[in-house]
């Protein structure tokens, strides 16, 4: 799927909103992104995740792992397309952990999948779990890289969409200067 068509899908599903938004950081932006809005639709999830699955299809992978909650849908679908096992790590006492009897074995080849990466914090935490279990990190797949290409996980990585986060201090916001009010979106994941 080409980038233009992909962006159209995010716009159609309101995953990507354009306007004038107040971010939790206090900065203003002309874009707001909520990945879950596009993943509501399994056919879009299938199409988007196929970009990640195709990228890694010739690599040795035993298991796909995601950080909960946002990454679960992505990891599950990539694992389904690659016909591999899927597990997830979830927060307990603020740290991501393997629960529910999930485990990684020494030497197991692992692909990490996430929905949106901004600083990469959750993905780095999952990578720590992979390393603690002496498993082998093969790569990282993500739907959207919002780090402007700055996050580097040190292994092959692919994102289906790269989006530059453009934000302004309230005092310097061009939309404010035009007199439109800033809207606070309903999620903290900005
Ligand atoms: Zn503004």
Q: What is the mean pLDDT of residues 138-147?
A: 95
pLDDT for res 164: 78
Dihedral class, residue 169 (left if φ above 0, else alpha if ψ from -120 to 50, else beta)? beta
The model's pTM is: 0.89
Question: Ligand 1 centre from 175 Cα, in Å?
Answer: 5
Among 16, 18, 29, which residue's Cα sits nearest to residue 161?
Answer: 16
> What's the pLDDT band for 98 if we cut at 50, 70, 90?
very high
Weakest-pLDDT range from 105-114, 128-137, 155-164: 155-164
Residue 104 has pLDDT above 80, yes or no: yes
Question: Ligand 1 centre from 146 Cα, in Å?
Answer: 20
Question: Ligand 1 centre from 28 Cα, in Å?
Answer: 5
Mean pLDDT of the chain: 93
Residue 84 has pLDDT above 60, yes or no: yes
Among 157, 154, 90, 143, which residue's Cα sits nearest to residue 114?
Answer: 143
Q: How far apart are CA 142 and CA 111, in angstroms?
A: 11
User: Torsions phi, psi of 25, nearest 5?
Assistant: -70, -10
Residue 3 has pLDDT above 80, yes or no: no
| Alpha-carbon distances, residue 90 vs 62, 72, 73 (angstroms) | 20, 10, 14
Give the whole-number percent of the chain exceeding pLDDT 70.
Answer: 96
According to CATH, the topology of domain 3-177 is Rossmann fold (3.40.50)
pLDDT for res 1: 64
Weakest-pLDDT range from 47-51, 93-97, 185-189: 185-189
Domain extents for the chain?
3-177
pLDDT for res 187: 47
Q: Own/partner pairs for 120-128, CB < 8 Å, 24+ apart?
A: 120/147, 120/151, 120/153, 122/67, 122/71, 122/96, 123/67, 123/151, 123/153, 124/153, 125/67, 125/89, 125/95, 125/96, 126/65, 126/66, 126/67, 126/89, 126/96, 127/153
Q: How far apart are CA 31 and CA 59, in angstroms?
A: 35
pLDDT digits (tens, 9 = 90+) for 151-190: 999 999 999 998 878 899 999 999 999 999 999 986 444 4
Question: Ligand 1 centre from 42 Cα, in Å?
Answer: 35
Question: Ligand 1 centre from 130 Cα, in Å?
Answer: 41
Question: Ligand 1 centre from 96 Cα, in Å?
Answer: 35
Give, in degrees to the nearest 5, the angle at Cα 65 between 62 and 69: 160
Q: Are 27 and 38 in contact (CB under 8 A)?
A: no
Give the whole-number percent of the chain exceeding pLDDT 90.
Answer: 83
pLDDT for res 186: 65
Question: Ligand 1 centre from 172 Cα, in Å?
Answer: 8
């Amino acid at each position: 799927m080409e980038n233009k068509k992909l962006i159209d899908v995010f716009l159609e599903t309101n995953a990507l909103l354009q306007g004038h938004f107040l971010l939790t950081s206090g900065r203003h932006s002309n874009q707001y992104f909520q990945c879950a809005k596009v993943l509501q639709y399994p056919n879009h999830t299938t199409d988007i995740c196929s970009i990640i699955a195709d990228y890694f299809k010739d690599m040795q992978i035993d298991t796909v792992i995601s950080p909960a909650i946002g990454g679960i849908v992505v990891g599950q679908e990539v694992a389904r397309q690659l016909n591999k096992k899927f597990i997830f790590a979830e927060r307990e006492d603020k740290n991501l952990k393997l629960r529910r009897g999930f485990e990684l074995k020494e030497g197991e080849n692992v692909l990490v999948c996430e929905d949106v990466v901004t600083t990469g914090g959750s993905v780095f935490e999952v990578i720590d779990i992979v390393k603690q279990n002496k498993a082998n990190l093969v790569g990282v797949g993500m739907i959207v890289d919002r780090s402007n290409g700055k996050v580097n996980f040190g292994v092959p990585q692919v994102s289906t969409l790269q989006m530059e986060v453009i934000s302004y201090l309230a005092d310097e916001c061009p939309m404010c200067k035009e007199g439109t009010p800033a809207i606070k979106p309903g999620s903290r994941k900005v």
